[in-house]
Each structure stands twice: as structure tokens, then as C-alpha cells.
Chain A
Amino acid sequence: MDCSPVKTAILGGWAKHKLNSTPDPSVCVVALQVAMESAALNFVNTTLNWVTLALDAPAARAVVFGVHIGGHLFVEVLLLVVILFLLSQKSYKPPKRPLTKKEIDELCDEWVPESLTPPITEEMQSEPPVLESAAGPHAIVNGKEVVNFASANYLGFIGHEKLRDSCTFALEKYGVGSCGPRGFYGTIDVHLDCEAKIANFLGTTDSILYSYGLSTMFSAIPCFCKKGDIIVVDEGVHWGIQNGLYLSRSTIVYFKHNDMESLEKTLEKITAKNQRAKKLRRYIVVEAVYQNSGQIAPLDKIIKLKEKYRFRVLLDESNSIGVLGHSGRGLTEYCRVPIEKIDIVTASMGHALATEGGFCTGSARVIDHQRLSSSGYVFSASLPPYLASAAITAIDVLEQNPDLTSKLKENIAILWKGLSDVQGLSIASNPESPIVFLRLEKSTGSVKGDLQLLEDLANRALKEASVFVVVSKRSTVDKCPLPVGIRMFVSAAHSECDLLKACSSLKKVAGVVLKDHICA
């Protein structure tokens, strides 16, 4: 504004000069333009001066907080208002158009679901052999008497008179079912007696009874393992444990089947990664005798690793109760480990104890917690009382006849000797395990092919030689990667000639069936 008079002067001088120098019409126009510009400039200047004065007047020479308020503040305030206005405008979003009723109707009509089950193939239609008598060491299948290696009747309690008598007494007193869950008058005194007996037998403080063997593990695990906990588990565990692990939503890490080095490496890796152990619970889950392979877990090594890396151990003793240890108390007695070191022991009673159901045992805190949080215990009807009394009687008989376990060991040894030279099959289980697992020496390449061959073998053994053996089957939801094979459950009630007959028959049948396979 202060330079405007100068500008006017310069322009005026220039115009005069032009006008004076060349009396040109264009120059005249230019001179007129300049004159107009100068007039406009003058006008603008006067207006601005007037505005400034007007603005300065009220706040003229005012000092607010040591800041002079000048007219430029007006411009800044205007800019601020413009910015705020722009910010408050909604950003451009393409308009949302929800699907109309008609469109949803069309989509629903178009959608085609898969069929409920996949088409039935031939292998799905095979029927298992039907027993016509009790599943003892000799059973009647399809009218013929066979030597039975398909029942996990390790101590030979099937058909035992004492069990039969106590069951009859319980059936007459209590009927069959218990008509209610444990919390609602389904607790019968035999249940409490059975729990006390099991705890006494194994040397723990308390135990809890479940009404089904399979549900024991998959109810116990989600009770203690929640999201965020870490579980290290053997890759060959059975489906019940796998399901329990999946339901618990914890982080699951598998280690190689029964391989202690792999376990150690895994534990090392996990503890190196996770330093905060205060709120994180860490578990190792193993089975005593693996149902899928017959191996026995080396408990003493596991305990050493557990104490070194501060993990808790969950042990499934379904196939080792009544079998391992000189008085049948299971893997802890066999490996000479005090049972207090194992945090949670579960077992299914459908094997050596020849009843149904399962139990879990451990410290009092562990058991009390399960009584309210274990879904398979709280939300399900309790075990029928006659089965609980059968379990009590079975443990009584085992305590009174400790030689049953040694008889079983002898039988296993005889079978091992006899089967060690079968062509095409090799024994993959531990020499002391009651499940003798025979695997193909050379696999056909696919699980299906293996299964086909082994099924053939088992069927022939049943028809021609009257020896009942079974092939391990896998469900489609089972994630176990171990190979399939023939399973033979040895019982203390098998006589020596039963076992020798089985060995010779298997050798013969295997020779026939696997002849082409071995040469191939």
C-alpha cells in the first residue's frame, strides 16, 4: 500500500513519456489502459486502507497476551474457518446398496448344497463279524468257535464269575441306568465307592468317574487348557486326545512319535521363544501304551525333561492299567516314577478292567475342578451303577491275584517269539506292550492299498484258521500319520496252545496273501 503512490508515479511517468513521444493511437489505448489501471489501483488502495482502518480501529494497538492483533489475523481466521468446513464434510463414499429382497430370493434359489454324505463306495459297505457269545479268549463268530485276539481283555476278566455276581447284584438293586447327571441325583453310592477304590489303588488323593472311555480325555483336556496355553503332544495319539486338543483352542505342537530327542528339541524351541511362564500353562500329552502303534512311552525320560523345562504331564493309561508294573498299577510303577509327578492321569476302563467308562485321577485340586467344569461329566448321565460295581470287583480281583500280570507278560513273550519270523510282516510294537502291532514290511504305497491287503489277511485268518484278528481302522477326521497294521490284543486268559495256533496260522495265511506282494 505504501508503494502504490510509487507505482502510480511510475506508471504515470511512463504513460506521459509514451504520450509525449509518439502520438500513436495504440499508444493512446495503452496510455488509457494504464490510466485505468492506475485508477483501479488507486481505488483498491483506498478500499484496503479503509478496511484496514476499520479493522484496526476496534483492536488497534491492542495487545493480547503479548501478541499484537493486526488485520492479518482476519485472514488467518478466515482460513481456519475454511479448513474446518472442509474437514467437516463427509469423505466421498460410494453409496451402500444393501441387497434387495428379490436379489436375496434369487441367491437362495440358486444355491445348491452338497449332499449330506458322499456317495457310498464299496469299502464303506463292509460289515464287521458278529459275535454270538461273550468276547472272551474263545468266542463264537458266525457259528464257529474262534480264538479271539480282537478284544482288549488283557486280564481275562470277561466271563469271570466274581464280576458277573457283583453285576447281577447291582442290576437287581439299582436297575440298569442311573437316570440323571452326577449333579442331579445321578450320584449313586457305588460311584463314590469306585472313585475311592481307584484312588486308593493308584495311590492318588482322588479320582473322578466318566461314563464313557472316549469322553474322558476330550473332556479333561479343555478343562485345563485354554486359548493361549501351549501343548506338546506326540503325533500318534488317538482321536479322543486330538479332539480334546482341538476343543481347547490352545497352541499345539507335535513331536515325532515316541522320539525323546524330538521332544527335547521341541521343548527347547518353545521355552526359548516364550519367556513369560507365569500365566502360560504348558503341557506334555502322551499315552502310556499307544493304541495306534503299541509303543510304550519312556516315562522316566519324560519326567526328566518335564522338570528341566517346567511342563506339566498328562498321561493316558488306558492300555497300561492292570498290565504294566508288577502289581498292575500302570506305567508309573513300571518306570519307577512316583505318581505325584504326573499331574493328570486318565484311563478308559474298557480294556483291562473289562467294564465301560473311564476315570481321571490326580491331586485333589485337579479333580475338584473337573467336577464343575468338565463338560463330559456335568452334562451327561452318570455311569450305570452295575458297571461301576464291576470296576470295583475287577480291581479287587487284580489286587488279590497279582500273578495275572506276570501271566500276561509270558503270553506276550510267547506270541512275540512265534511271530518274529512271519514273512512280509514285522512287529512294530514294544516287546512288553499287550497290543502286538504287525506292520507290512514293504508298504504298497497308499494307505488304501495297505488296508486292502491287511483286511484280506484278517478275513482269511478268520475263515480258514479261526483266528480273529483286526486291522486298525482310521476315521476320516483322524489326523494320525502312523501306518496301519494288524492289531492283536493278548490276554492273560489265552492258553499257550491258543497262542501257538495263532502264530502258525498267521504265518501260513501271510505266506499266501503276501506272496505276490513280497516278490513284487
Chain B
Amino acid sequence: MIAIPYLTALTTHFSYGLLFVFGHVRDFFRKLMFFTNDNLQGYAPICLGAEDFYIRRLYLRIQDCFGRPIASAPDVWFDVVERYSNDNNKTLKRTGNISRCLNLGSYNYLGFGGADEYCTPRAIESLKRFSPSTCSSRVDGGTTLLHNELEECVARFVRKPAAIVFGMGYVTNSAILPVLIGKGGLIVSDSLNHNSAINGARGSGAIIRVFQHNSPDHLEEVLREQIAEGQPRTHRPWKKILVIVEGIYSMEGDFCKLPDIIAICKKYKAYIYLDEAHSIGAVGKTGRGVCELLGVDTADVDIMMGTFSKSFGSCGGYIAGSKELIQYLKYTCPAHLYATSISPPAAQQIISSIKVILGENGSNRGVEKLSQIRENSNFFRSELIKMGFEVLGDSDSPIMPIMLYNPAKIPAFSRECLKKNVAVVMVAFPATPLLLARARMCISASHTKEDLIKALEVISQVGDLVGIKYLLGEADKQQQERMKLE
């Protein structure tokens, strides 16, 4: 849990208050001086004024920290394109200059982003054989040999009887949930679930209840209350209950308390849906995700979902479950029936990367990568904590958010790091609560020790400059205690 220091909370509130006041003053003058011409007579404006207040007045100031274009593969060192603005950050134009930066932002956990010696030649081969797209949905003429092989491969990797693959991870959540559960059902989801799961839950028509982040006790309370009460107003019993949790939460970097949650779901006969977007391939002894890491039998999880864009360096998403579930989904899921099937070279990339991870290509690169990412994450996290930063997340997790809180520190940290050739990702409202802005680092298996040490140096310097070493006092105290013991 994040405990925001009192003084920091005060200054953050003050900063936001100041920004809002300035924003409203400027809006007022804008209304007086211009009338926007882009809504014609008799039409309501296409974007109402209040909706994009945040965008116009707060986000545009720091727009250059987001959406930075790159000109090379998203590897460990990549080329960030420089941009400039003539009108105070409203529009940004590309220049021809690039700067080579260390990549701490891309989701490249096992280092498969960019050209790989094993995967890329095979992807090019399948491109020649099957062309970049099948132009058809899976049920029509879009199923090729590769697709069937891919589904078998994924099912084997995840240790489930069968799997179904889609072309995009976001659509996987949004199109599966309406099929599995409808009106008369209950969805209980973690409060920090990803937008795709929330969208899918809304699109299904079921009632949604939220339980406190990663708290099995509160989940039990919610389940008991809901089962006893039944559907709202009519009090009929629920048709089914689905609990949605994630493997690693991407903004916090902590693992889900899976064994406890599964025990509770079994007790109350609820189905569990595990979204392993970030954890599949990146954690666990053989890369099989949180189930392997936390020692949970995959047969206990009813529906396992994951994406391929993070650890496998490709695109798409999958659902793994029992044979009946997958057959039913193939019959009725709209993403399977209407959407174009996943591109064949992307499918080949996933197959090749799974083979590398499992060691089936004859080398032990997979084992090396998995141990490397674990070592790197633990090393990086412990060093950051020693320096006094407030880092979230559990050990072994490759995502480390560093708390910033103040809105002014967001662009300061980002720009200073970019000047020193380190590319980091800033996360602010609305992906996180308003006061809890943070910088998020994603560690890759391809980061070498020197890369990490350089990154730590730069972050420490910039952290001193910007003033975010909130736990410095504690780190010093711990060190002193340790020295006393010695």
C-alpha cells in the first residue's frame, strides 16, 4: 500500500489546485475572446468543453513526455526521435535527429523485441509462404496450419487442455466476457484491473462489483454479501459469478495473491478469470507465469488469458481453458467469427519464441533469459531501495514503479533522464489516481549489468535533482543499523 508522506500530499494538492485555477482562468478568457468555429450552426460541439479540460490544460503542458516516436526496433538501446514545438507544446513536429537511449520503457521482458537470430528468419519464411494477412476471419478462410499449430503450442505452454488465439490482446478481453456471462450474472473484479477487462465487463451486461486491490478478505466479504442478497431488486439467485484478477498489475508491479483467492472462489463456487498479460513468459521457473511462481495448479483456474505483445515480442492474445470452453468460444465469440485472423508472421514469431523459452530449439537461451530477467529485476530493485527511492512491487517482478506524486516532477524527471540518454515512462492520471503519479521501469532479460549500472547512476542523479528520494532517511537508518550489527 502506498503511504504518501504528509508534506508531499500537501504540496501535491497545492500544485494541482494551482494548475486547475490557471486552467479555468485561461478557459474563461478563451470563451470571451474566441468562438470556436469548428462546431457549425445548430450542431452541438463534438467534444464538449468539460470533457477535455484535463487534456487541454494539464496534459498538453507535458505532452512531449508521452508518445515519443522511435526510429529503430524496441530493443535495449534504441533511437528516440527528437521533436520540437513552435506553439507551446500543442503540436509536436519530428526532426530528423535521433538520440540513442537506454530503453527502460518497452515491455520487452525476455528480449524478443527487435530482430532475433532464431525467430526473425522463421517469421520471414512464413511471410513468404502465407503473406502478411489472410484477409478473412478464422471461421471463413483465415485458419492456416500455423494457427492450429500456434493454438496447440500455447495450450502446451500454459498447461491447459486447449487454447484459442486472437489478433489483439485488448479485443480478447472485450469480446470474451460478453460471451461468457450476460444479464443475471455477477462480475467481481479487482479495483486496479486493466481497462480492457473493465470494458469487457461493461459490454457483457452483468452487474459489476469491485473488491479492494489484492485483498482476499474483502473478496470473501463481497462474495458472501452478494450471494446472500441475490440480484439487485428482484433478489433472484445469480446465474454465475466470475472473479477477474490479473497476474502482475502493470501499474503497481505486485503479484496477485492467487492461492488465497482460488481457495475462496472454490468455496463459494465462483469462476476465476486470470489475466496474465504481463506475467506470462516473464515470471516462473520455466516462464509459465504466476501459476508456476506461486505454486498453483492450472486446473484450478477456469479461464486463463494472456497477451503476446510483452514477453513474446509479437502481437495478439489467447484464452486457455478446458476443451468445452474453447469449443464454445470458437462457435460464438465475435472476435473469432468476424475479425481478421492473426497475421501469420506474428503467429510464427510466437511459436518460435515459445520454442526458445522451452529449449525446444536445441539451445538453452530460454533458461538463460529467464534467470537473467530474475537476477536483473532483483538487483535493480534492491539498488533503487538502497538509494532511497519509494519503489513498489514484489521481488521477482520485472516492473518497478517509482513514486513521484507532484505533477511538476513528472516532466522534470522525464526530460532530465532523456537528456542523459535514458528513456523512462511516466504514468499519471487517468491510468493512476490523481495524486499518485509515478515513473515506471520495465526490466528486460537483454539488459546487461553495465546497462543497469548506468541506468542506476542516471536515475540517482536525476532523483537528487528532482527530489524524489522520499525514503532516504529510512535507507540511511537501515544502513546504520546494519553497520552497528557488523
* Contact between chains at A107 and B228 (CB < 8 Å): yes
In the complex with contacts A116-B302, A164-B128, A215-B174, A150-B141 CB distance below 8 A: yes
* Contact between chains at B170 and A135 (CB < 8 Å): no
The 8 A CB mask of A209-248 against B (1 = contact, 0 = none) is: 0011111001000001000000000000011100100110
The 8 A CB mask of B47-76 against A (1 = contact, 0 = none) is: 110011001000100000011111111110
Contacts of B140 in A (CB 8 A): 128, 150-151, 470, 487
Partner of B136, one of A150, A159, A173, A182: A150
Number of interface residues of B (CB under 8 A): 121
Contacts of B112 in A (CB 8 A): 175, 177
The B94-143 residues at the A interface (CB cut-off 8 A) are: 94, 103, 105-108, 112-116, 119-120, 123-124, 127-136, 138-143
Does B160 belong to the interface (CB within 8 Å)? Answer: no
9-residue interface stretch from B337-345, B400-408, B473-481: B337-345
Does B470 belong to the interface (CB within 8 Å)? Answer: no
* Contact between chains at B123 and A171 (CB < 8 Å): yes
| Cα distance, A278 to B128, chains bound together (Å) | 55
* Contact between chains at A375 and B195 (CB < 8 Å): yes
* Contact between chains at B43 and A310 (CB < 8 Å): yes
Does A477 belong to the interface (CB within 8 Å)? Answer: yes
Contacts of A371 in B (CB 8 A): 67
Does B203 belong to the interface (CB within 8 Å)? Answer: yes
Chain A residue at minimum C-beta to C-beta distance from B202:
A247
Contacts of A375 in B (CB 8 A): 170, 195-196, 199
Partner of A180, one of B105, B180, B268: B105
**Residue among B44, B119, B180 facing the most chain A CB atoms (10 A cut-off):** B44
Does B463 belong to the interface (CB within 8 Å)? Answer: no
Does A130 belong to the interface (CB within 8 Å)? Answer: yes
* Contact between chains at B145 and A131 (CB < 8 Å): yes
CB distance from B250 to the nearest CB of A (A): 10
CB distance from B270 to the nearest CB of A (A): 7
In the complex with contacts A176-B123, A185-B425, A189-B71, A356-B340 CB distance below 8 A: yes
Contacts of A239 in B (CB 8 A): 334, 338
The 8 A CB mask of A252-296 against B (1 = contact, 0 = none) is: 000000000000000000000000011111100000000100000
| Cα distance, A379 to B172, chains bound together (Å) | 13
| Cα distance, A124 to B293, chains bound together (Å) | 35
* Contact between chains at A354 and B128 (CB < 8 Å): no
Does A21 belong to the interface (CB within 8 Å)? Answer: no
9-residue interface stretch from B14-22, B208-216, B323-331, B358-366: B323-331
In the complex with contacts A150-B140, A375-B199, A380-B168 CB distance below 8 A: yes
Chain A residue at minimum C-beta to C-beta distance from B224:
A104
9-residue interface stretch from B3-11, B234-242, B280-288: B234-242
CB distance from A96 to the nearest CB of B (A): 14
Chain A residue at minimum C-beta to C-beta distance from B98:
A189
Contacts of B78 in A (CB 8 A): 185
Does B346 belong to the interface (CB within 8 Å)? Answer: yes
Does B171 belong to the interface (CB within 8 Å)? Answer: yes
* Contact between chains at A211 and B143 (CB < 8 Å): no
9-residue interface stretch from B26-34, B307-315, B370-378, B449-457: B307-315
Contacts of B182 in A (CB 8 A): 477
The 8 A CB mask of A456-498 against B (1 = contact, 0 = none) is: 0000000000001010011111100000000101000000000
In the complex with contacts A152-B136, A171-B127, A477-B332, A113-B314 CB distance below 8 A: no
In the complex with contacts A108-B268, A379-B195, A175-B73 CB distance below 8 A: yes
| Cα distance, A181 to B120, chains bound together (Å) | 22
The 8 A CB mask of B165-195 against A (1 = contact, 0 = none) is: 0011111001100111010000000000011
Contacts of B223 in A (CB 8 A): 108
Partner of B167, one of A107, A117, A212: A212
In the complex with contacts A130-B144, A381-B169, A173-B107 CB distance below 8 A: no
* Contact between chains at A136 and B113 (CB < 8 Å): no
Does A148 belong to the interface (CB within 8 Å)? Answer: yes
In the complex with contacts A180-B107, A247-B199, A175-B128 CB distance below 8 A: no
Contacts of B42 in A (CB 8 A): 277, 310
The 8 A CB mask of B76-106 against A (1 = contact, 0 = none) is: 0010110000000000001000000001011
Does A192 belong to the interface (CB within 8 Å)? Answer: yes
**Residue among A174, A182, A282 facing the most chain B CB atoms (10 A cut-off):** A174
Contacts of B73 in A (CB 8 A): 173-175
Does A513 belong to the interface (CB within 8 Å)? Answer: no
Does A60 belong to the interface (CB within 8 Å)? Answer: no
Contacts of B269 in A (CB 8 A): 111-113
Partner of A351, one of B48, B68, B119, B135: B135
* Contact between chains at A135 and B136 (CB < 8 Å): yes
Contacts of A188 in B (CB 8 A): 69-71, 74
CB distance from A115 to the nearest CB of B (A): 8
* Contact between chains at A281 and B135 (CB < 8 Å): no
| Cα distance, A164 to B170, chains bound together (Å) | 27
In the complex with contacts A114-B239, A167-B132, A218-B174, A363-B38 CB distance below 8 A: yes
| Cα distance, A278 to B41, chains bound together (Å) | 10
* Contact between chains at B52 and A124 (CB < 8 Å): no
Chain B residue at minimum C-beta to C-beta distance from A477:
B178
Partner of A243, one of B43, B142, B174: B174
Contacts of B106 in A (CB 8 A): 179-180, 184-186
CB distance from A457 to the nearest CB of B (A): 15
Q: How many residue pairs bridge A and B at CB < 8 Å?
A: 363
Partner of A387, one of B123, B129, B132: B132
* Contact between chains at B141 and A175 (CB < 8 Å): no
* Contact between chains at A475 and B179 (CB < 8 Å): yes
Chain B residue at minimum C-beta to C-beta distance from A468:
B141
| Cα distance, A177 to B353, chains bound together (Å) | 12
**Residue among B47, B71, B423 facing the most chain A CB atoms (10 A cut-off):** B47
A contact patch SS: loop
The A345-370 residues at the B interface (CB cut-off 8 A) are: 348, 350-351, 354-356, 363, 365-366, 369
In the complex with contacts A103-B228, A355-B132, A185-B68 CB distance below 8 A: yes
Contacts of B120 in A (CB 8 A): 171-172, 175-176
Does A390 belong to the interface (CB within 8 Å)? Answer: yes
| Cα distance, A255 to B58, chains bound together (Å) | 41
CB distance from A365 to the nearest CB of B (A): 6
* Contact between chains at B171 and A212 (CB < 8 Å): yes
Contacts of B324 in A (CB 8 A): 117, 120
Does B417 belong to the interface (CB within 8 Å)? Answer: no
* Contact between chains at B66 and A186 (CB < 8 Å): no
Contacts of B224 in A (CB 8 A): 104, 108
Chain B residue at minimum C-beta to C-beta distance from A242:
B334
Partner of B241, one of A113, A278, A476: A113
Does B432 belong to the interface (CB within 8 Å)? Answer: no
Partner of A153, one of B135, B237, B308: B135
In the complex with contacts A125-B327, A179-B107, A369-B47, A477-B194 CB distance below 8 A: no
Does A372 belong to the interface (CB within 8 Å)? Answer: yes
In the complex with contacts A179-B74, A475-B332, A158-B133 CB distance below 8 A: yes
Does B271 belong to the interface (CB within 8 Å)? Answer: yes
Contacts of A402 in B (CB 8 A): none
Partner of B142, one of A135, A180, A187: A135
Does A15 belong to the interface (CB within 8 Å)? Answer: no
Does A376 belong to the interface (CB within 8 Å)? Answer: yes
Does A168 belong to the interface (CB within 8 Å)? Answer: yes
Contacts of B327 in A (CB 8 A): 120, 124-125
Closest 9 CB pairs of A and B: A150-B141, A350-B340, A212-B168, A381-B309, A214-B339, A380-B170, A117-B328, A124-B331, A179-B113
Beyond the given A113-B239, A224-B47, A354-B133, could you list 7 further A-B residue pairs with CB under 8 A, ordered by the A residue number? A108-B228, A135-B135, A171-B124, A177-B313, A188-B71, A354-B135, A380-B169
Would you give 27 A-B contacts (Cβ < 8 Å), ordered by A? A104-B225, A111-B237, A120-B328, A124-B331, A131-B142, A131-B143, A171-B115, A175-B75, A176-B345, A176-B346, A177-B312, A184-B66, A185-B78, A185-B80, A186-B106, A187-B69, A212-B167, A214-B175, A281-B43, A350-B133, A350-B340, A354-B135, A356-B167, A376-B171, A379-B170, A381-B310, A475-B337
